[in-house]
Every structure is written in C-alpha cells, then in structure tokens.
Amino acid sequence: MADTRQRILEATYTCVARWGLAKTSVEDAAREAKVSRATVYRVFPGGREELISAVVGWATLEFFIRLYEQVQGATSLEQVMERGIMFAHRSIVEDEVLQRVMQTEPEKLLPTLTFESIRIRQGIAEFLVPYLEQRGVAQGVNLKEAADFLARMVLSYMSAPGRWDLDDPDQVAQLVRAELLAGVVAGPGQVAGPDH
Amino acid sequence: MAIRGTALQAVADVADDKAGGMLPSVHPDATPSRQSSPNRVRIIDATLACLALHGTSKTTVDDIARRASVSRATVYRVFPGGRDEVLGAVVDTEMARLFSALGVRLGEAGDLTEALVGGIVEASTRIRGHAALAYLVEHEPEMVLGHLAFDESDRLLATASRFTAPFLARWMSPMEAGRVAEWATRIVLSYAIAPSSQMDLTQPAQTAHLVKTFVLPGIRALHAADGPTAIDITPFEQGCGQPDRHAVGDAAHGRPTTPPDAHHQLSEYSNPVEQCKGATT
C-alpha cells in the first residue's frame, strides 16, 4: 500500500510537471503509475482533489528531506541556518515545476502550500531546538518561542529574499548572525564572517 | 485574478512618489491620477461590505449599487471597467488606508522601539480586523495568497518597506532602515498568515516583547556589521504602544507627521557601537 501510494504520487508529480495542476486527472496519474483508476481511488478516496493536495504535500516533504540532508553535517546553529537558507533558496529558484506552477496557476497551488507551511514551520522549529539548546539562548529568551520565531523568519526568506542576496555566503552570514540570531543566542552578538 | 498586479502597482506608484525625499502622503480618497468623488468612496465602501458578506465571486455590480444607494449607471460612470475595476480600486484604497495609518503611527513615534512596536501593532490590528480580507482568506484564499508567496511577496515586501523605511531613517542609515523596514514587514506578514497562540501582534505588550527580544538586538548587530553611525534605541516607554484611535482617525484628514532629520542620540540603553565592539574583536 505504501509502495503504491508512493508510486502514484511520483507519477502524479510527473504529470503535474508535464501539464500543470489543473490538467492532471486521476486517469493521467493512473496511466503514468501503471495502476488502475480504481487503485488510485482506493488510495485517495477523495479523488483528484485529494491527489493534488497529497502531491503538493509529498513534494514539500521531499524538499525538506533534501534540506535536512544538506544541513546534517553542520556543527553550529549558525552553520545550520546559513546552509539551510542558501540551499532552500537555490532549490526554490531552480525548481522548474514549482516555478512554472507559480507562473501559470498559483491559485491552485497556494492554498495547499500555505496549509503545508504550518507543518513545515513546526518541523523547522523542532529541528532547531537541539541546536539552540547546544548553543545556549540569551537570558530571558524562551527556547520554544525563539525556535518558532526563527522558523517563521527562515520560511519568509526562503519564499522571498527581499533585499538580501541569498546566493552570497557573506550576506547570508550577516543575515543569520546579525539579524536573526543576535537576540536569540547567548553571549555577545555574532557579527563575524561566515565559517569557511 | 483581475486584482493581481494593478493593486500592488498602484501602491508601488504611491511609494514611488516619495523617491525625491518627500515623505508620502497617502490620502485614501485622493489618489492623484484617479477620479475622486464622494460616489467613488461610497462605492468602494459598499463593495467592502459586500465582500465581507459574499466574497468576490458572488458580489455583482447590482449588489454594490444597491448597498451604495446609487444606480448601476453611476457605478459604471465612476468605474467604466465594472466589477473588476471596482475590486482593483478597493484593494488600492485599502492598501492606501493601511499605509496612511502606518504613516501617522510611525511619524508620531518618539523613538525606534515605539516606531517598530506601534507600526507592527497598527498593521497587525488593521489586517486582523479587516472583515472583507477575513472573508476572502476563509472562502477564496487564492485571491489573497497570491500576494504573499514568492515573487509577489517580494513585491509586497519592497512596497511596504519602501514606504516605511524613511520613517525609520530617523534613527539609522537609509540602508539599515530599508532592511529593518523589510524585516518588520516579514514579521507582520508571518503572524498575519499564521497566527500564533503565544504571540499576538495586535497586543502592544506582546509586540514590545518580540521587538525587544529579537528585533532590537538584531538591529544593533546589523548596525555593528555595517558601519559606525550610531543608532538611537531609547527604551520602550510604558503605554507608548497603545493604539491611539484618535490619531488613526486623523489619518484620513491630515498628512502624516513628517519625521525630523536624522539625529543620532545615544541613550545609555542603546549604545550599539560600544556594545558590539567587544563582540567583533
């Protein structure tokens, strides 16, 4: 069942990449996955709508698995955030499927993606907690509150870099150390250059 | 998605007007290049009421005319483009009203903390209390979310920070003010899109806590990394973050207070340069 689900989702993603969200049907996904329509409906009783929500959730999760792998080797909170922000930014810019869907049918994607972002934010916050514990938070800072705030900001920069060049390691180091972590971590504000 | 683009462009145009160093005067019913008439405002406010009840898809020109107590012909005379043009004008007007109120709030602020807390509370309160926006988020999220993600979000950040940065430049360099304005906008948007049970940014005390805990240290560190100009971060005064409804109401009748030229006074609370010197060496 898990395998079938995975296969259908991968197939659906392929269809979305080819035709977009609106034009992907249950039939297309079934054909691409080489399963019957009935099988798709058995795994996704809500049909097309459920399938489309599920594929957005699945693609988002895949993205965060890659992001997680990318920051695994990092040794400090600063490094986790710098690597994470740079990788996430690159991945989003280079994700052709995401970019095309955002161009042509954002109204189909955004409600689901916004819903997903709540789960994502909790995931990022939970991921940051041990790093914050290890690093030590500043006096008077609540660990959970700080993790939630940082997760919100990471999501914000991932989605829209604004006036920051997130391909430039020096700028990202400044963003992370000055803007994001200065109030959060213990000890004097970290304003040195990036780890090399 | 007729609203997309036009609305934000209009606000961007408003923000552009101040490029020469002039402070913006965003007057809700006096957008320069547009026809200004009592009917215009009446139709826009009637449309807002319709949107709060039925959203965009079920609001017709007839509904709008009826609620505004004008004829269909009047609606089309003021807005020849019909429903789509009215909807575009509603977004423009609401953005202008928000920026107008923000301008008053930021202009009145006596110090940086007050400006940040006041601005964040003002924007959050207006977004939270907006009945039409709330209906759309609930029933037609695609109408709203398009402005809050990826490239469109970048445009919104740029517009909002271009408008608010000059007010913050009273306490820091223009470059720093741009960054801080953008940061504050991100904070408002994040908590507006996904409210937190712990942090309610419509509440001055909670917002002051957030600003003092996370934002002010960040500003000092940014500043230490950027250069030697002093930033004046005087302590947050009790009560200064309380929304002053009277002042907000005046937004529609007067120009926002013009911030004085940048004067950098160091208080003992904020000596970013001294505080961060130790950190950098």
Q: Which residues of A touch B190 (CB under 8 A)?
A: 152-153, 155-156
Q: Which residues of B touch A157 (CB under 8 A)?
A: 186
The residue of chain B with its CA nearest to that of A190 is B279
Name the pTM for this structure: 0.78
Task: Specify the residue for token string 């009215």.
Answer: B86
| Nearest-CB residue to B194 (from A118, A184, A188) | A118
Using DSSP, how many helices (H) and how many strands (E) does chain A show? 9, 0
Q: Is the Cα torsion angle B252, B254, B260, B265 positive or negative in sign?
A: negative
**What distance in Å separates the CA atoms of residue B95 and residue B100, rounded to the nearest whole number?**
8
Distance between A131 CA and the closest CA of chain B, angstroms: 17
Six token digits for residue A180? 């994001």
Task: Specify the residue for token string 């395998």.
Answer: A3
Tell me what pLDDT residue A179 has. Answer: 87
Indicate the DSSP class of residue B212.
Answer: I
Task: Specify the residue for token string 């600003």.
Answer: B211
| B34-61 pLDDT tens trace | 445 789 999 999 999 999 999 999 999 9
Q: Which of A104, A113, A179, A185 to mutate to test the interface with B (most CBs of B within 10 A)?
A: A179
Task: Give which of A23, A77, A21 is closest to A53, Cα–Cα.
Answer: A21
The answer to whether the CB atoms of A188 and B141 lie below 8 A apart is no
ipTM confidence: 0.86
Q: Residues of A numbered 82-101 whose beta carbons fall under 8 angstroms of chain B's beta carbons: which are they?
A: 92
pLDDT above 70 as % of chain A: 94
The answer to whether the CB atoms of A155 and B148 lie below 8 A apart is no
Phi, psi for A137 (deg, rounded to 5): -90, 155
What does pLDDT average to in each consecutive run of 10 residues of chain A (196 residues)? 90 93 94 96 95 92 90 91 95 88 84 84 93 92 94 93 94 92 76 40
Task: Give which of B175, B32, B218 is closest to A138, Cα–Cα.
Answer: B218
Distance between B39 CA and the closest CA of chain A, angstroms: 32
| A161-196 pLDDT tens trace | 999 999 999 999 999 998 899 999 986 544 433 443
Q: Which residues of B touch A178 (CB under 8 A)?
A: 218, 221-222, 224-225
